[in-house]
Amino acid sequence: MLSFITSSLPATWLFRNLGVLPKIHWRVMPRLTMTYGLRWDVDVVPSSLRGPHVNAVTGFDLSDLSSLALAPSGTPPYKTRWGNVAPRIGVAYQVSKSQNWQSVLRGGFGVFF
């Protein structure tokens, strides 16, 4: 069975995202720099300004896709999460200071949403 959802109205959807990342750069030694911070991300549920709503599904189970179905119109596809706080840390070490050849070794870690 093949299904299509069509609309004669042009759709205008609104996607909103807010991300804040206060971070600190700290020169530990002349050649070693650390950067660390805490990022806060909010992905607000998309909405429709004009045309059809953003569709959501129910019964999503990878082991049994036969239960997959469209949710009732107006059901948000996901809930806005306000607690997405993620630490970030980075390190940079200047290996060589030569005028002819400069190299920097970098590494980092972060949690992402």
The count of domains in the chain is: 1
- Domain residues for the domain of 88 are 12-110
Long-range contacts of 69-76 (CB under 8 A, 24+ apart): 70/5, 76/45
State yes or no: pLDDT of 7 exceeds 70.
no
The verdict on residue 1 lying in a domain is no
Q: Is the pLDDT of residue 4 over 90?
A: no
- For the stretch 34-89, pLDDT in tens is 999 999 999 999 888 887 777 788 877 777 778 888 888 778 888 899 999 999 99
- What does the alpha-carbon distance between residue 71 and residue 53 come to, in Å, rounded to a whole number? 11
pLDDT of residue 55: 79
Q: What is the pLDDT of residues 80-100, one digit of tens each?
A: 999 999 999 999 999 988 888
In a domain, 77, yes or no: yes
Question: Is 55 part of any domain?
Answer: yes
The answer to whether residue 32 is domain-embedded is yes
Contacts of 103 (CB under 8 A, 6+ apart): 94, 95, 96
Higher pLDDT, 23 or 2: 23
**For residue 29, is pLDDT > 90?**
yes
The verdict on residue 59 lying in a domain is yes
Residue 97 lies in a domain: yes
Q: Is position 80 within any domain?
A: yes
